[in-house]
Amino acid sequence: MTIYTIILIILLVAWGGWELATVIRRNRVATLIDEDTFQAGLRKAQVVDLREKKDFDAGHILGARNIPFSTFKAYHQEIRADLPVYLYDQGKTLSTRAALLLGKENYDQIFILKTGYSRWQGKTKKTKY
């Protein structure tokens, strides 16, 4: 039993280290913002929904455009680097990954919705088809 316990502890420490490194890297390139701050800056920023199209069509933040994370590497050039970029997904996992990619491309105004779309209380829009 002790060898399995040691292996489990090593795996947990490695996973925790990886998560910590990801958070540190994300915090270097992006800022987590709450819903009120997100809503206050909506009109001045490019709002990008990273969820897949079917989820976007089911409901999204009013004014957002859909660039699914699965195609983000190919289409992120559509996002202007001179304007703030507001990213969101269901939580913040995809937003973190997208922010890291944009950070490598020298975008400097990247913001992530802290609670994700799952807890969004503001205005939304649904696609009608």
Tens of pLDDT along 52-87? 999 999 999 999 999 999 999 999 999 999 999 999
Tens of pLDDT along 15-64? 999 999 999 999 999 999 999 999 999 899 999 999 999 999 999 999 99
CATH number belonging to the domain at 2-125, selected among 3.50.50.60, 3.30.70.360, 3.40.250.10, 1.10.3720.10 = 3.40.250.10
Cα dihedral sign for 42, 46, 51, 57? positive
- Predicted local confidence at residue 126, as pLDDT: 84
Q: Delimit the domains of the chain by residue range.
A: 2-125
Asked whether residue 127 carries a pLDDT value surpassing 80, the answer given is: no
**What pTM, to 2 d.p., does this model score?**
0.86
DSSP E strand stretches across the chain: 30-33, 46-49, 60-61, 65-66, 85-88, 110-113, 124-125
Helix (H) or strand (E) run with residue 74 in it:
helix 72-75
| 129 pLDDT tier (thresholds 50, 70, 90) | low
- Predicted local confidence at residue 91, as pLDDT: 87
- Predicted local confidence at residue 119, as pLDDT: 86
- Predicted local confidence at residue 118, as pLDDT: 87
- Pick from 81, 87, 80, 45: nearest CA to 66: 87
CB of 100 closer than 8 Å to CB of 29: yes
